[in-house]
Amino acid sequence: MFIQHSFTRVLHPQVFFCADLLCCCWSLAVLALVAAVWFFRDSRQITCIHEKHVLVTGCDSGFGHLAARQLDRRGFHVLAACLTEPGASRLRASASPRLKTLLLNVTDSASIDRALERVRSETGERGLWGLVNNAGISVPIGPMEWMQLEDFKKVLDVNLIGLIEVTLKFLPLLKKARGRVVNVASILGRVSLIGGGYCLSKYGVEAFSDSLRRDMMHFGVNVSIIEPGFFKTQVTDLSLIEDDLKKRWSNLPAEVRRAYGDSYLQDYIKVQEFSMNILASSDLSKVTSCMQHALSARYPQTRYSAGWDAKFFWIPLSYLPTCIADMVTNILMPSTKES
């Protein structure tokens, strides 16, 4: 009895070790299987791309311009909406004859109606497969106290209200095709880093897209959100941002400028320079590839984060407790004289 009991006591740690090792192996096998299934599912593509029409807004430059050309090469019938005729001409010169351009101001209801009629005539009974809401502006940005009500309206009208109106008017065509809506938000729709209307508008795009997705899933319409990090486009043009900040600073009451301190403006501009010159990527295809996947994948993702800063900094920051996120953002932004 003593020998058997001693042997059992010696054996117990080995049994536990083997059980733990077996559990780890099973866990790794399950994770590998899940990853393989996800990769296979994510890589599956739709068929008959050459029969599908896609409308992209904001195609004069930046993401929209590149996305229109990329989707055109992929075989879609691209309807590229530009704000200006010169922007439309540049795009036509760099694309195939299959790509069609139209003029669209997303803040003008009459312009949206004209675009709707044009798209309806182009798509016919097939309906509209994809709508990429990409048009947007950023300026003015800056401390909230430096803004007027009209400054918020200016950005919200383009980035949010215009996006909503375009989407609602084109929904019947999208439902007919059981198609896709791709809304370009921003990582600043998760972390409000700057004042002004930009972050507000992108938070609104996130909320609108979530509500729309849950409503439209009953009709077979998928809704995806693109959340780019910092990229070098006209929206992030540093000269426009700096000029606007300097103008606002000069228009502030003297007591407000004293509260911020004489060096605050230059410190704030340096933060913007760091964001645009160090963090911002010039590879816009990281964003447009997400758009293409959302339109051509059999199983599109709900959210796409584009850029290393979005994936490894801003999104993790958005999940941290608010007090920690505030501490991090306060480190990034300049201090006022009275802080």
Residues carrying an active site annotation: 198
Tokens representing 82 are 């530009």
Q: What separation in angstroms does the CA of 186 have from each of 25, 61, 338?
A: 39, 17, 32
- Say if residues 334 and 271 touch (Cβ distance below 8 Å): yes
Helix, strand or coil for residue 153? Answer: helix
From the list 151, 152, 138, 143, the residue with the least C-alpha distance to 261 is 143
Q: What is the DSSP string of 21-73?
A: HHHHHHHHHHHHHHHHHHHHHHH-B-S-GGG-EEEES--SSHHHHHHHHHHHH
3-state class (DSSP) for residue 228: strand
Nearest to 231 by CA among 56, 61, 50: 61
Amino acid 35 reads: A
Q: Within a 10 A sphere around the Cβ of 280, how many other Cβ atoms?
A: 17
Tokens of 235: 């929206």
Q: Which two tokens stand for residue 169?
A: 């008017």
The DSSP annotation for 277-317 comes to III-BS-THHHHHHHHHHHHBSS--SEEEESHHIIIIIHHH
Buried b (16+ CB within 10 A) or exposed e, 26-52: eeeeeeeeeeeeeeeeeeeeeeebeeb
Q: Is 336 helix (H, G, I), strand (E, B) or coil?
A: coil
Strands 77-82 and 100-103: parallel
